[in-house]
Structure 1
Amino acid sequence: MTDTANLPTPAGDDFDRAIGFTLPARHARGRMARLGPVLDQILSAHAYPACIERVLAEALTLTALLGSTMKGGEGQMTMQVQAARGIVSLLVADYKGGELRGYVQYDAEKLSRLGKNPTLSALFNQAYLAITFDQATTGERYQGIVPLDGESIAAAAESYFDQSEQIPSLVRLGTMRGDDGKLIAGGMLLQYLPEGEEGRERLHAREVQYPEWDHVEALGSTMGVDELTDPAVPLETLVWRLFNEEDEVRVVSDALLVRGCRCDIDYITQVIAKFPEEDRAEMADENGIITVDCAFCSTKFPVRLSDFTSPTL
C-alpha cells in the first residue's frame, strides 16, 4: 500500500491545507482539512461571539473540504444557510482557487438570551442549506438545497449528501483553542462511490448493503476532533492512522488555503455607477461620500459622488 506517513509534509505546524485521498479497494474517497492562521484572519475582521465563531469556523472547514474537490483547482463553491426566523439569518462561506472567505448575519440581542452554547437549531430556525458549485472549465452550475437538519454543521452536511446527492457520507468537523487562544478548525469528509471515483450508479446507494462502506465508515468514526485540530500531526499521518491496514491508499491532491476577499474599489465604483444619479445622491452622506462596507472582510470603501460627475466640456 501507499505509506502516507512517509509522504512529504510541511515543516512545523500543519495548518491551512486540504488533502484528498482514495481507497480504491473500498470504492471510497476522502478529504481532510485544517485551518489556523487563515481562520484567524477571517474571524479577526469581525467581533463575533464565540458560538458564532465556532459555527462559521466549521462552515469554512466544510467549504474547504468541498471546494478543494473541484477539478483543476478552479471554479467556485459556495455554502449558504438562510433562516427567515432564525437568530442567525444568513451564513455564507465560499472557496475559489484556494481562497476562503465567510461571514454571518445575526441578531445580537436575541443571541444574548441563549447562553454560551446554543444548539444549531436554536441559532437557525427552519433554515435551508444551499451548496453551489460553479465550474470554471465548463461554465456549468450545480446547486442543491435542503432543509438544515441535525444538531451540528457536520450532521447537516451528512443530511445534505443523503438528500441531495444520495451518496453515503461521513463528515467530521470540530474546533479547539490553541495555546495562544486562537481558534483552530479541522474536518474530514469520507464518501462511498459504488462504481469508483466517477460515482456511477450512486443513486439510492443506501438501499443496498455495502460492506466496504460500513468498514470505511466505522474506521472514520474513530477520528476525534482533538486529532483533526492538532497542528503537530500532519494530515497525511491522520490518513495513515485510519487506513494503514488497507491494500492501497492514494493521496491524490494537496490544496493550500489562504484568506481571500474579492472586494475591489474599481468594481464597486462600476456597480454604483449603474444607479440613477438621484439614487446615488440618497446613498451619500453630507460630505458626498458613499460608503460601501464589505460583509466578508469588514473593509469600508468610500466612493465620492464627484467621481460620477461628467466632465465639463
Structure 2
Amino acid sequence: MNEDDLLRDDDTGFDRVLAFTVPSRNVRGRMVRLGPVLETVLSAHDYPKVVKHVLAEALVLTALMGSLLKEEHAQLTFQAQAEGGAVDLLVCDYRNGEVRGYLRHNPDMVGALEENCSLEAMFGKGYLAITFDLPVTNERYQGVVPLEGASLAHACENYFAQSEQVPTLIRIAVRSNGPRCVAGGILVQHLPDGEEGRERLHAKEQHPDWEHVAIIAGTVQSGELVDPVLSLEQLAWRLFHEEDEVRVEPLLLLQRGCRCTVDHYLSILSGFPEDQLADMRDDDGHIPVDCAFCSKVLRIPV
C-alpha cells in the first residue's frame, strides 16, 4: 500500500477517540486519529510543511489529553511559548470533542529548518503549559514544563511525570501528501488504583505491569497510527491481544470547534471602557476582530 492509498476520501476511522483499559495491568489509554478535522484546522493559514507537522502533533496531543476529561464542558488548553526559534507561540484546546489550534512562526527562520528537527531548533527556549479548566467545580489546574526533548510528545511525557506523577507513554505520527494530512497518536498511563489513579507515585514507573505495557505500547509503528484502514479497535487488539482483557469505549467524534461568534466577542468587548472601544471602532462604527484560529474577520457592532 502506498502513501496515496492511506489518504483516500472514502476511508473511515478519522476524527475519533478510542478509550481503552487493560484492567489486569492497571493501565488506561487513549488513541486518536485525525483527518478532515486536522486539514480544516491547518487550512486556516498557509503553514509551511514543517510547521504543519508540529501543529498536527500538538492537535493530536490536545485530543489525547483532552479526552481524559470527564466533566461536561471541561476544557484542556495546550500552549507553548518560546523565544529565539522559528515558532514563538502555539495554542490548541479541546472542549466537548471540539479541537482548534493556531501557530505563529517566523517564515524566514522556518525556511532553514529540517523535517523532524528538535524542539530547540523549532522553538528555541520556552515552556509548555497544560491547563485543565473544570467549570462544574470552578477549578483550574495548570502544569508548566520546559520545552525540552526530541518532540512535543516527549515534553508531554515530562509534564505527566513531573506535574501529575503518572507514568505515561505517548507516540505520535504525522503523514502528509500535498494538502492532505493525517495524524494519529496513542497515550498509555499506569494508574495503580484504577481509572482514577488515586495513588500516583513516580516510583511506580518501575512497576512490572507498567514496564510490560510500556514495552508493548512502544512497539506501535508510525504507519499503524495513521493508517485509516486499520481501525483503532484493531490496533488496540494488535498491541494487547495477549492480555487477559482489554476494554474499549469509543468516545465523542472530533470536530473543528471555533468560538469566533459575534455574541462571543460582544461578551468580551462589554468589559472594555467606552474610550477604548472608541479607539477600536472603524469608520462604520464596528470593531473588526481577526480570529487567529480560523482566519475569520468579524465586524462587531459595539
- Structure 1-normalised TM-score? 0.88
Report what 1:204 is aligned to: 202
C-alpha displacement at 1:122, in angstroms? 1.0
Report what 1:29 is aligned to: 28
- Between 1:292-301 and 1:250-259, the stretch displaced more is 250-259
C-alpha displacement at 1:141, in angstroms? 1.4
Report what 2:187 is aligned to: 189
Contact 1:130 1:145 in 2 (8 A): yes
**Residue segments in structure 2 that go unaligned for 5+ positions in a row:** 1-9
- Distance in 1, matches of 2:261 and 2:233, equals 37
Match runs of 1:233-248 below 5 Å: 233-248=230-245
SS of 1:102's equivalent in the other structure is strand
Report what 1:4 is aligned to: none
Report what 2:74 is aligned to: 75
Report what 1:135 is aligned to: 134
Report Cα offsets for 1:260-304 as digits up to 9, x if no partner. 00111123134334433333333234554431101111100113x
Structure 1 181/209 Cα, relative in aligned 2: closer, same or farther at 3 Å?
same
C-alpha displacement at 1:123, in angstroms? 1.4
Structure 1 73/12 Cα, relative in aligned 2: closer, same or farther at 3 Å?
farther
Q: CA RMSD in A?
A: 1.9
Report what 1:6 is aligned to: none
SS of 1:171's equivalent in the other structure is strand
Contact 1:194 1:205 in 2 (8 A): no
Match runs of 1:76-115 below 5 Å: 76-115=75-114
C-alpha displacement at 1:195, in angstroms? 2.2
Contact 1:86 1:127 in 2 (8 A): no
SS of 1:156's equivalent in the other structure is helix
C-alpha displacement at 1:72, in angstroms? 4.6
SS of 1:84's equivalent in the other structure is strand
SS of 1:123's equivalent in the other structure is helix
- Distance in 2, matches of 1:255 and 1:289, equals 38
- Distance in 2, matches of 1:301 and 1:139, equals 30
Structure 1 155/132 Cα, relative in aligned 2: closer, same or farther at 3 Å?
same
- Distance in 1, matches of 2:128 and 2:270, equals 33
SS of 2:157's equivalent in the other structure is helix
Report what 2:118 is aligned to: 119
Structure 1 211/259 Cα, relative in aligned 2: closer, same or farther at 3 Å?
same
Match runs of 1:32-47 below 5 Å: 32-47=31-46
Structure 1 249/115 Cα, relative in aligned 2: closer, same or farther at 3 Å?
closer
Report what 2:4 is aligned to: none
State whether structure 2 residue 285 is matched by structure 1 residue 292.
no
Contact 1:83 1:90 in 2 (8 A): yes
Identity %: 52
What is the aligned counterpart of 2:253 among 249, 256, 261? Answer: 256
Report Cα offsets for 1:203-259 as digits up to 9, x if no partner. 2234x6311111101111110110000011110000000000100111134221000
**Residue segments in structure 1 that go unaligned for 5+ positions in a row:** 1-10, 309-313
C-alpha displacement at 1:157, in angstroms? 1.1
Number of residue pairs matched by the alignment? 293
Report what 2:165 is aligned to: 166
More strand by share: 2
Report what 2:146 is aligned to: 147
Higher gyration radius (CA): 1
